Amino acid sequence: MVVDNKTLTFHINNFAYTIDIGPDLNGEVQEEITKFLDLDKEISTKELLLAYLRRTHEFIAFKKDVQTQIQRVDEFNQTKT
């Protein structure tokens, strides 16, 4: 099965930027990339930075959640020994 790479075009400050996001069979990558960016309109540098900051906040919250879960597993494993 040959999978083609997906490309997305962003219009930022009157310039078009087409990027290759790699294989995206079910659209999950595109959905996550465009969560805070609208491909159908011109976006400014400020909007791009804001989208980056929002994704960074999501990542930090996710990272903390994963660390908490790892700590719980470690504590559970210590009580079993």
Phi-psi region of 22 (alpha: psi -120 to 50; beta: other; left: phi over 0): left
pLDDT by residue for the chain (81 residues), tens only, comes to: 667 899 999 999 999 999 999 999 899 999 998 899 988 999 999 999 999 999 999 999 999 999 999 999 999 988 876
Q: Is there a contact between 10 and 43 (Cβ–Cβ < 8 Å)?
A: yes
Confidence (pTM)? 0.74
Q: What is the C-alpha to C-alpha distance for residues 68 and 54, in angstroms, rounded to an integer?
A: 21
Angle at 12 between CA 47 and CA 52, to 5 degrees: 35
pLDDT for position 56: 96
